[in-house]
Structure 1
C-alpha cells in the first residue's frame, strides 16, 4: 500500500472548526444525549479469526519526529512508546473487510448526530454487534494491533468510545471531523469505503506537538495528509498526541470504523480527561466508565484484561 503522504493538506484545511474547549466543552457535556441502548442487529455475520490479515504493518512515523522529547515518552524496560503514526496498512483480509462493512451498514440507522468531534457517528458499536465485540477481543486482532503500535493492547475499559463508526454523506451540510486530539492513546481507523466513491473526506494531521497547534499558519509544512482512501486501508494514530481532522465530504458516502485500544502497562498514564469524554457522551454516561478506568489497580495487565473480557497480551508476545 502507498506510503503516508507528506504533501500539504487541502487548501483551507485550517479553516475547519476545532473541538470545543473550556466553557463551551462543559455545555457540550450538559447538552449531550446519553447514548441509547440499542437492540442487536439480527442476522449479522459471525466474526472469524482468519479475518485478521497476516503480517499487518506499514510505514511509521515516531513521536520524536513530531517534536516530542524522549523523556516525555512512556517506557517499559528497554522499550519506548514512540510510535506516532503507522499506515496505511491492512489489518483485515478482503473477506473480513466485506463482513465488517456489512455490519457497519446495518448499524447506520442507529447513528446519532454530534457537534463535538465527528458529525454523525455510532458510539459503543461493539455493545450492540457481536461481530464487533468478538473482533476487538480476538487474540489475533489484538496481536496485530499491538505489534503495529509497539505496545501490548487490549480493548479500552471505557466502553462507549471503544468502537465508533463514523458516517459521512456528501449531501446537505458537509459532514466532517473537527480538528482535535483524542482522549485515547492508541487509535486504529479502518476505511470501509473506496476513495473513488466520494470526494473530500481527507484525513489530515499536524506533524508537530499538540501544544504547538495554536500557532500553525496556512503555509506550515507540518500540515499533512495520510493517504488512506483505499478501501480497507488502516491507520494507527497515537491519538492524544496528534492533532488531526477530516475534511468535508462533498459527494458520495464515506464510512470508517475507529477502534480505541488500551495499554494496561501504562494505565496510570492514560490521557483521557473527563470533560473530553463527557462532551461526546454526556456526563451521566461518562461517570461509570471514568470511575472504572481511574480506579487504582495492583496488576494492570491482569486486572484490565479481565475487566475488558480480553486475552492478555504481554511484551513477550510482541517479540515472538
Structure 2
C-alpha cells in the first residue's frame, strides 16, 4: 500500500516547480500515514492469525541518516530534474535505524507467518509482494529503477547470518547507467556504491525512479529478508509513478532490438522517463485483478481528491465563487460544491476488492461526470480549471485502465 512520505522526509514538497526539502526531527510527530484504510480483505485473502498490533511508541526507533546524497550530486541537470518532476533533490540516504528490537521481532514474526505465500518471479528468486527473501547464490535483484516515487528498503536479517546481498546503487544518473548497460552490458565497479553493514532493523530511503540500484547475490547463509515499502508525496503535482496502467503495462516494445530480456539488467520505465517509448515492457503478472484494479482506482482517486482539495483554500474559494457566479447565478456555494464532490469521490477511494469492471467503474462515475461538468464552467486559463481538470483526468484515466487492462501485469509497485 502506498503511504504518505515517512520520516525523515515528511515535508518534501515541490514549490512552484522548484525542488526543496524540509527535514523533520520529531519522529513521533511525523509518522507516515496511509493514503486510505483497508478494512476488508479481497476474496481469497484472510488476515493472518496471531497478528501483532503496531505501536509506534514500542516498535519504532527512528533516527536520522548520517548522509543524504542528492540528485544533483548524482549528476542530474536542472533540465533533467524538471523533466522527472521528483518531489525533492534527495536521491538516497545512508543507513538509518527504523525499528526497535521489539519492532524487529514483531516484523519477523509476521514475515514468518506469511512465508508460505512467497512466489518466484523472473526478477526476484523468492518474493512476498514487497518483501524479497532469497536463497544463496541467487541475485537478490537486478539493476533497475522504480515505478514508485519514493521507496524505503528495511533490512530484517542479521548481517552475521549471510554474506553478500549488498544494496548497491550507481553513482550517476539513470540515463548514464542505461547507456553504459546498453553499450557494455554492465556498470563500472568504481561507480558502484554500497551502504556498509546492513543491520537488521535499519533501512535506506531513496527516490527510486532516479536511482539505478540493485541487491547483489547472497553468497552464503540461509536467507536475506528485506521489507520494501513505497511512498508518495502529498503534492499531486510531484512525480507519482505510473499514470496510465493500460498504456504502460499492456504495451510492448515497438523496437525489438531495444527489448530488455530477463537475462539482462532490467529497468521499469514510466511515461515520464524520456526513454519510456523505447522500453514499454510487458511485465510479468503478480496480483489478481480483484486486487490490482481496485487498488489502482483507490490510489488514483486519493491523489485526485488531494488536487481538488486545493480549491478549499480561502483565496481560491473566493475567486471560484466569482467565476461560477458569472456563468450561473443559481450556482450552489463553491465550498459546498467542492465538499460534495470530495464526498462522492469517497466511493472510488473505498472501491471494494472485486473484479467486476462495471462495478469498479461505477464507483468512479459517482463523481467523474460532476467533475467534468464543473471544469466546463470554468475559464480554461484559471487555476481552478487546472485543478479540476487534473482531478477529472486522473479519474478518467483510471476508468479507462479498468475497462482496457488485458491482464494483471504490474511487476512491482
Shorter chain as denominator, the TM-score bin is 0.5 to 0.7
Matches of 1:283 and 1:39 in 2, distance apart? 15
Partner of 1:31: none
Q: 1:122 matched to which residue of 2?
A: 128
Larger relative strand fraction = 1
- TM-score, structure 1 normalization: 0.62
Out of 211, 221, 229, the position equivalent to 2:198 is 229
The structure-2 alpha-carbon separation of the partners of 1:57 and 1:68, relative to structure 1 and needing over 3 Å to count, comes to same
Query: What is the rounded CA distance, in whole Å, between the counterparts of 1:179 and 1:93 in structure 2?
Result: 30
Any stretches of 5+ residues in structure 1 without a counterpart? 1-34, 124-163, 309-320
Q: Does 1:39 align with 2:9?
A: no
Give, in angstroms, the shift of residue 298 of structure 1: 4.9
Q: Give the ranges of 4+ consecutive aligned residues of structure 1 lying more than 6 Å apart after TM superposition.
A: none
Q: Deviations over 1:251-282 (max 9, x none)?
A: 21100100101112045632326325953526
Moved more, 255-264 or 218-227: 218-227
Summarize the Cα distance change of 1:175–1:246 in structure 2 as closer, same or farther, 3 Å threshold. same
Matched residue SS, 1:107 = helix
How far apart, CA to CA, are the structure 2 residues paired with 1:69 and 1:180? Answer: 21
User: Which residue, out of 220, 226, 233, partners 1:263?
Assistant: 233
Query: d(CA) in 2 for partners of 1:214 and 1:225?
Result: 19
Partner of 2:113: 106
SS of residue in 1 equivalent to 2:216: strand
Q: Quick check: 1:188 aligned with 2:152?
A: yes
Q: Tell which has more relative contact order, 1 or 2 (C-alpha 8 A, sep 6+).
A: 1
Structure 1 equivalent of residue 387 of structure 2: none
Q: In structure 2, how many angstroms separate the alpha carbons of the residues matched to 1:280 and 1:36?
A: 18
RMSD of Structure 2 on Structure 1 (CA): 3.3
| Pairing of 1:44-55 with structure 2 (within 5 A) | 44-50=51-57, 51-55=59-63
Deviations for 1:17-44, whole angstroms, at most 9, x for unmatched residues? Answer: xxxxxxxxxxxxxxxxxx9943322112
Question: 3-state DSSP class of the match of 2:160?
Answer: helix
Shift of 1:206: 0.8
Does structure 2 retain, via aligned residues, the 8 Å contact 1:186–1:236? yes
> What is the alpha-carbon distance in structure 1 between the residues aligned to residue 217 and residue 62 of structure 2?
33
Q: What is the CA–CA distance in structure 2 between the aligned matches of 1:102 and 1:240, rounded to whole Å?
A: 31
Q: Is the partner of 1:174 in helix, strand or coil? A: coil
What is the Cα deviation at residue 59 of structure 1? 1.2
1:315 aligns with none
Structure number with larger C-alpha Rg: 2
Counterparts of 1:26-175 in structure 2 under 5 Å?
37-50=44-57, 51-73=59-81, 81-115=88-122, 117-123=123-129, 164-170=130-136, 174-175=138-139
What is the Cα deviation at residue 72 of structure 1? 4.1
Cα–Cα, structure 1 residues 106 and 80, in superposed 2: closer, same or farther, change >3 Å? closer
Classify the secondary structure of the residue corresponding to 2:169.
strand
- Matches of 2:116 and 2:153, distance apart in 1: 21
TM-score w.r.t. the length of structure 2 is 0.49
Does 2:287 correspond to 1:279? no
Runs of 5+ consecutive residues of structure 2 not aligned to the other structure: 1-41, 181-185, 250-267, 269-281, 310-341, 351-413
1:165-215, CA deviations, whole angstroms, 9 ceiling, x for partnerless residues?
A: 111122xx6242111111011100110011111122111111211111133
Tell me whether 1:247 sits opposite 2:255 in the alignment: no
> CA separation in 1, counterparts of 2:43 and 2:128?
10
Contact conserved, 1:167 with 1:254, CA < 8 A, in 2?
yes
- Flag the 1:84–1:301 CA change in 2: closer, same or farther, 3 A: farther
